[in-house]
Amino acid sequence: MRRFYVILVTVLLLIVTTGFTFKSWLNQMAEGNGHYTAEEYDQAVQAFNQALIDAPDEPDIHYNLGNALYAQGKYQEAVNQYNRTLELSQDEELSENVKYNLGNIEYRQGESLVQQNPQQAINQFEVALQHYQQVIQNDPTDEDAKYNYEFVKKKLDDLKKQLEEQQNDSQNSEDQQNNQQDTQNGDNRTDSQDQQGENDQQQQDQQKQTQENQEEQQSSEEELQAEESSAAGEKEDEQTDAAKDVQALQLTMDEALQLLEQFKEQNGQFIPMQPRTDHQPDDFKDW
């Protein structure tokens, strides 16, 4: 934190020599400075606020009040007092101190957000660097501003790198999950296709088996019909042959009677029978 602004000795001398007393803000300002030096920040804030009652447009009071609030960790209230100081003061040194302290506040606020909101922390680090840079431009010999600038710049670069790595890891993890999901979906589709293929094959096998059964049944029926037809033909042939045999037998018996009569007439002399020209048996029979 930059230095406090204290009451000038000439002013004190004026008060003593003239007997004029500022029941006012000068005494409260001095009291507040004492409390601040003793790190009694609550009493310092009370004293500076009391001084502002009598001198609301005094930039030094706003600046010192801002320092006390900063020491309490009340950063936004301190910012309000620093901004009021810039509005009221034309002093370049005081303005540089304000900007330096504003840079410190931005860094402190960003530091508290690194874990829960790293992007907001990055934004506040960048604002802090802007404040330090303004101080350095106005006073290139300001070593405190240079040191803080380099310090916060490194913090900012490290945080950006860390955030980028986290984003890459998150993206890689998301890509991996998507790949696993795609692979699983592909496997499911393959399994479904395989199952469909198996079902189609089974259906084809069943159709083929049904067709073969039908063909076998038809073939069996045709064979049965052929056998029945052949048996019927053979039976018919047998009946025809039997009829022929009966007819042949009948003719033979008639001929036998005739021969018998002839034999009797010829005193028992056997005369061979001449075969009929209209009947030719398979085997020649000699009577």
What backbone torsions phi and psi does residue 154 show, to the nearest 5 degrees? -65, -45
Q: Cα Rg for the chain, rounded, in angstroms?
A: 65
**Those residues with Cβ within 8 angstroms of residue 134's Cβ, 6 or more apart along the chain or in another chain:** 99
Average pLDDT on 10-34 reads 65
Q: pLDDT by residue (tens digit) across 65-91?
A: 999 999 999 999 999 999 999 999 999
Non-local CB neighbours of 65 within 8 Å, separated by 6+ positions: 32, 45, 48, 49, 52, 81
Where are the chain's structural domains?
9-165
pTM: 0.58
**208 falls in which pLDDT band (50, 70, 90)?**
confident
Q: What stretches of the chain show up as alpha helix (H) in DSSP? A: 9-18, 25-37, 41-54, 59-71, 75-88, 92-111, 118-138, 143-265
The model's confidence at residue 47, banded by pLDDT at 50, 70 and 90, is very high
Q: What is the CATH number of domain 9-165?
A: 1.25.40.10
For 155-203, the pLDDT digits (tens) are 999 999 999 998 888 777 776 777 777 667 666 666 667 777 777 777 8
- Give the CB-side neighbour count of residue 28, counting CA atoms within 13 A: 22
Q: Which two tokens stand for residue 89?
A: 């003061």
